[in-house]
Structures are given as C-alpha cells and as structure tokens.
Amino acid sequence: MGSQHGKLRQLFEYNFLEYTSYVIKERAIPDINDGLKPVQRRILQTLHNMDDGRFHKVANVVGATMKLHPHGDQSIFAALVNLANKGYLIDRQGNYGNIFTGDAASAPRYIECRLSPLAREIMFNKDLTEFIDSYDGRMQEPVTLPCKIPLLLLLGAEGIAVGMATKIMPHNFCEILNAQKQILNKEEFTLYPDFPQGGMVDVSLYNHGNGKIRCRARMEEANEKTILIKEIPYTTTTQSLIDSVEKAAKAGKIKIISINDYTAEEVEIEIKLARGIYAKDTIKALYAFTDCEVAISPNLTLVQDGVPRTATVEEVLHYNTQKLLADLTRELEIDKSRLQDRLHARLLEQIFIEERIYKTIEEKTSYKDVIAGVDEALEGFKKELKRPVVTEDIERLLEIRIKRISRYDINKQKKEIKSIRAAIRKINKYLKDMVGFTINYIDSILTKYGTSYPRLTELREFTEVSVRRVALSNLTVCYERESGFLGHQIKAKSEKADFSITCSEYDRLLLIYETGIYKVIQVSDKLFVGHDVHWVGKMKKGLIFNMVYREGRENLCYVKRFASPKFILDKEYKLFDNHKRSKILLLSFGKEKSARASLMPSPRAKSNIVEIIFDEYLVKGPGAKGKRVSTRIVRRVIDATGKKPKEKKVNLPLPGMENIVHDRGEKK
C-alpha cells in the first residue's frame, strides 16, 4: 500500500512540474528575445505566411493560427485583438473595441487585419530564425522571431503562471530606441513607462522595471462646478472609473449631481458637482477615493534560455541591444556570403564565355568527359576565382543558354561583376564598424516611424493626497455620559449632548478620561467607552494640551503641557499616576491660555489665588509629571483665559506713619 502511495505521489509531482513548466514557458510569460508569448508569436508568423499586402478576415487568421496553436479559437482571437490594439505590429480594419471604454471587438468574421510596415521590417528573417515542428508535426513554427527592437519593453505584458506572475509596463518607442543608441555609445540612460491611455505617472518608486508606480487621470476644471476627465490611468477604462466615482458618491465620500461619459476617439467624462461643493477640492477627493489614481506594482518576469527570471529594464535593453548587434552582423555576413557566391558564378561564366571554353566540349562523347574537360580548361584561371571550382559550378556553366554568349550579354555581365564587388566592399566597410552601422540602423527606424509614436503619459511627482484631509466631514459623533456610549448613530436624549463632534469616517478620536487614561479609537457606529470620559476630540498632529491635575497620593496639583501624543489604536496610556484620588481639574488647548487655582485658606498667606500662565511652562512628553502649582492644597481650578488677574490687596500706611516698620507684629 505504501509503495502504491509513493508511486502516485511521484506521478502527481511529475505531472505538476510538467504542467508548471508548460504554463510558464508556453502560455503566460514572454521571452526576452522577441518579447512575445507563444500565442502572439504564432499569430505573427501566420500573418507573415499569409501576407500578400492585403487585409485578411480575422476569422481566417485565427483558423490558420490554430494549425500552430494547440488551444481554442477564442484564446487566439483575444490575443490578436489585444496585440492589434497596442498599435505597432498589426494594421486593423473594422471595430476592434475601445481601450478607453473597454468595449469588446466585433466578431472575427467582420473585422480584418494584416502585418504593419513596421512588423514586416523588424520581425522576420528566415535566415536568422530557428524553426521546430508544431504541436502535431504537420508544420514548422519559430522558437523566437528575430525582432530588431526591444518588443518586450515596447508592448509590455501581463500574465499569471504557476507560482509566478509578470506585469511588464509598456514604454515609449522613441525613448527605447534612443536608449539603445546610448548603450552603444556607452552612455547612461533612464527609461520610464508610457501608456496608451495617457494620463500622468509618478515614477519616484519605480525600481528599474519593478517597484511601484502611481498613475493618475488628467482632469480639468471646466468651471468651479464641473470637472472634465480627459485622460485615464493605465489598467482602467472609462466604465471602471465611472463605477468607482459612483461608488464613492454613494458612500458619501464625494458629492456629485451627475456623471456622464462622452468618450469617442478621445476620453471625456463630465462630473457635475453638488451645491456648496467646488471642483478644486473635489479633484483631490477623486484622487483619494476613486480610480482616478491607481497604484501599480510592476514585476519584470521573463523567460531567458528556457528559464524564468526577474530582470531589470536595463538588463533587458542591454541584452536586446547586443542581440541586435549580433543579428545585424549575421545578416551582413550572410549577404556577403551570397554576394561572393554570385561573384564566383559570374566570374566563372565570364571565363567560360570569353575564353571560349565551351568549344572544348564539342568532341566529348560522355557527360563525365564533358565535366572533366571543362574542369581541365578552367585550371589555369582558378587563381582569379574566390574559391575552388566544384562539380555544381561546372553543371551550372553547362546550362548557359546560347544567347548569353552574345557581346551584349558579356558587357552586361561585366557591369554586374563590378556592382557585386562594390557591394562586397560596402559590406566589409560596415563589418569594420558594427556599432556605427547599428546606430545608423536605429536612426533609420526612428526617422521612418518615430513621429507616429510620441510620449502620451506625463512624468510627474505627485504630492500625497491625505485621505483624512479631503474626506467630507459628514458624520456627527455624540457621547452620552449617562449611557457611556460614543458613536455617530447615537442620538442624545437632550438637545445638547455631553460631546458632539463633526468628523469623517477616516478621522481618529482621542478620548481622555478623568483618571488620566487616554486612548485613540476609530470612528464607530456605537461603542461603549465608559461614564468618566473627560474630553473627546479629533486627533490632530501638533495640538498643544494644557492640563492641571490632582496627584492622588500627594493630594497636590500639577501643571503640565504636552503635544499630541503618539499612539497605537485602542491601546490605553497614562497621563499621570492612576490613583483613585487622581483627577483632571482643567484641560485646555493651544497657546495664550491661562487658569486660576483657588487654594485652601491659610491665615498667614497673603493670597489664596494662584494665576497659571500656561505659556510659561515647557512642552514635554505626555507622561511627564509637570510642575507643582503650590505646596498648599488646591480647592478648585477655573479657566481664566481672557480674564484680568485679580489685584492683590495692599494696606497703605496712614499719614504720619511712613517711618514705622512692622516686623513680627512688634513696634520699634
């Protein structure tokens, strides 16, 4: 039983690993060489096989691609529409949907496509392509296409495999090619995403193809009551953005009258605002609470040499640039080899005709003697040739037609030999400076196609929108001391509640109890907080607290000042020793505050009142003990802000008594 269980486990592990490998390499993750997933590569190869310059029905293209792709027609159709809507490799005719609104394309029988001029120029070269058998062995398909631009960074990609995912951002056509030129010139470069939807992007946390970016819609104030959205963030559509705005409005985070979508060729969403609400403030709230701002976490995972790995933009660009250099070198060498073969053939023909070698075979009686005779006759001219003469060369000479022996054809052949030699010299010149040749090639692509692909997304550093600051204060939180409950669903029994605070759902509430305990809580519907809350308010950074409290053990009063304390939500902290007689006597806020403490009467004291000017005390931590008000017991403390201090009574001497000095009640 145990051995069967082990075999079953091995079977599952093997099959799972096979499936994992297949999903990663054959479906979800693009290859670094051509930036394509297998289905995209098969679509482009099929379009190349069918290419005659005219449009083809997408249904026909999908059907032909199924000869190479082992999956269904819907996956091929979806991939073709997605690739066509990126706008680089496939020319479209018909309704391919709308990347702005999210509308779907028409059925494949109604729309047409063909390869774009750019795709024909950069994507295909049979001499550089390695082919393998298709899934059923009936056809040949490319392992990768010999793409001459970094298509992986140009198109971007998104896919989920087993245990990994990829999310590669698209970049600008011209910026990618200019970065390749900088690599070839050994210069530094930076490359940032560019999205077909436009909008704005903050790349301050973009980590070379990974990290995090924030995308924003581009909004305009048509007037103080109307907002127009002109461009949308990457990964959103006008419909998803409108849904997020309506959801925020329903939740009370923003107030609008209506939202209308007028998008056609360009995005235009109109938002009308409610009475008392203005565009300038609402734009910030839209960024905070809706999909007008989205955060994206790029993940540059790719397949290289059959193995998945995470790379950087710079690594991908350096790899593709070196590959372009190698591919162009191979192309030149192949062209040179073909020119040399042509030159060899033309030189042989020239010798064969001008030296009248064809006359040596007139008396030969067998084909073998003919071959041997021509080979013997060419022996004296082999130094003029680029390579040794083989039987195939002689057979080609014997196939020359009689008209080629005319003077006209001989002159024409001399011109052709001259042009072939010139072409070989030109290629040799290029091969000596492949970096310069590659830069010129990139420049030619930029000149031909660059103007069609300007940057659409603006690079901008966003200021963080504080959710608490832009949220509408649409909740009224009440505290009932009698019941001990706090919340925005509490209705006070009397017209005036013990505490009533207007706030938003994102605010934090600071509770300070009579006993000196304080804690910070979230705004809630209804929460029991106790009967001895001294003060409830919104937690504000930098607020100064002025406090007079009785220390229970000593039965003395202390004054302390502290700023808004740091906190962990719902955790209790102490402002002073939690003795049963300890108690807050007065609490005020800010500067220029004062208080008046009434002391227990003493027959020897000149005054029973102490004026407390809070600004005279240092701001310390919330746990500091503070400074003692008096060595005598304090009966009560009142807020004296704005009141004039009481004048101390002074008994003036009677006339004629100025020189009498009192000391200990005795007259001297």
Active-site residues, by number, are 110
> Under a CB-based contact definition with an 8 Å cutoff, are residues 457 and 376 in contact?
no
Q: CA-CA distances (angstroms) from residue 33 to 14, 76, 168, 324, 443?
A: 29, 21, 15, 10, 21
Longest dimension (CA), the chain: 171
> Under a CB-based contact definition with an 8 Å cutoff, are residues 535 and 512 in contact?
yes
Cα 516 from Cα 579, distance rounded (Å): 9
Cα 32 from Cα 389, distance rounded (Å): 43
CB neighbour class for 348 (10 Å; exposed up to 12, middle 13-18, buried from 19): buried
> Under a CB-based contact definition with an 8 Å cutoff, are residues 609 and 646 in contact?
yes
Report the relative pairing of strands 517-522 and 508-513 from DSSP bridges.
antiparallel
Q: How far out from the chain centre does Cα 659 lie?
A: 90
Residue from 254, 224, 152, 145 nearest 193 by CA: 152
Using DSSP's 3-state secondary structure scheme, residue 227 falls into strand
Cα 420 from Cα 428, distance rounded (Å): 12
Q: CA-CA distances (angstroms) from residue 228 to 233, 282, 472?
A: 14, 12, 21
Q: CA-CA distances (angstroms) from residue 283 to 101, 473, 505?
A: 21, 17, 19
For the record, the structure tokens of 612 come out as 């407390």
Cα 111 from Cα 109, distance rounded (Å): 6
Beta strands in 330-484 (DSSP E): 458-459, 475-480
Cα 221 from Cα 226, distance rounded (Å): 6
Q: How many residues does this entry show for the chain?
A: 668
Q: With helix as H, strand as E and coil as C, how does 124-158 read?
A: CCHHHCCEEECCCCCCEEECCCCCCCCHHHHHCEE
Phi-psi bin for 656: left (phi > 0), alpha (psi -120 to 50), beta?
left
